[in-house]
Amino acid sequence: MKNALITGITGQDGSYLTEYLLAKGYHVTGVVRDLAKAKGNEVLSQHAGVKLDEWDMRDQGKFSEILRKRKPIEVYNFAAYTSGADMFEDSVDIGEVNGLAVTRILDSIREVNLKIRFCQASSREVFGEAVESPQTERTITNPRSPYGAAKLYADAMINIYRERYKMFACSAILYNHESPRRGLHFVTRKITNTAVRIKLGLEKELLLGNLDAQRDWGFAGDTVNAMWLMLQQDQAGDYIVATGETHTVRELCEHAFSYLDLDYLEYVREDVNSYRPVEPAILVGDANKAISELGWNAQVTFKELICMMVDADMQLLKS
């Protein structure tokens, strides 16, 4: 039976990948920063067979110990600061966690077992002020935040270890991917959760930034499927994982509220203080390489995703 190791297992992506791998018969180990807190995770509590190890991401020796003990054949890294409004708040720590920690993982794999396959959750933020749209794996990178710069550093180190040590290491360049497990500080979940609260009479309005901002939004379950496929190939490579479609925040509101038989125009207000700078090129991914080489395709449509999230928030708030 295959052993897989997932860092950041308690997050949205880690939890979906855990369920995906367990369904395929894997033994799964989760690497977490706080063991006591992770044991209370709702998703992990449903899977008693998942093992957990605690790791300070600055301690390379400890990660090597975990690799020796668990003997994984695949390692997936989701442990990172997330993108968003706080991307500039702690540049040094973001560099440590989103960048240097990836090098520590790579070096531990080199030291312990070069046959271990590794997949890094990279980000569309490496393109920053993109020079073209849609972006491909060949698009010039131009990060404009410490988060994007740290992710780009990790991607560069993956390429170096792949070439220097013949390591099977990949970067999955992920675009926005959502689910009912998304945190409430993300705009998608903020919208679906507040729409349900308005429907239930718990809120009266929703304040948002630029309603015409566009994003390439997909489903997190589809995203982790692509990452697994990346580690099943004969050759390691980097892939954009995206839907190739853009939708506005306004569309998101319209779908979420209309699904609840509400008119978003009556409840949604724009807050100019929450506006982000205008992006010169739309960040939308061209996933043709993943489609042609991995046989991957996004299964959940944008509208299906929003309805899924609204249903989950309704169940959560009613309970």
Which residues have a catalytic role annotated? 123, 125, 147
> What's the rounded Cα separation, in Å, for the pair 34 and 54?
6
Residue 247, CB-side half-sphere exposure with 13 Å CA sphere: 21
C-alpha pair distances (Å), 181 with each of 42, 187, 221: 10, 13, 11
> What's the rounded Cα separation, in Å, for the pair 281 and 144?
13
- Indicate the Cα dihedral angle 16, 18, 19, 21, nearest 10°: 120
Burial class (CB in 10 A: 0-12, 13-18, 19+), 308: middle
> What's the rounded Cα separation, in Å, for the pair 98 and 87?
11
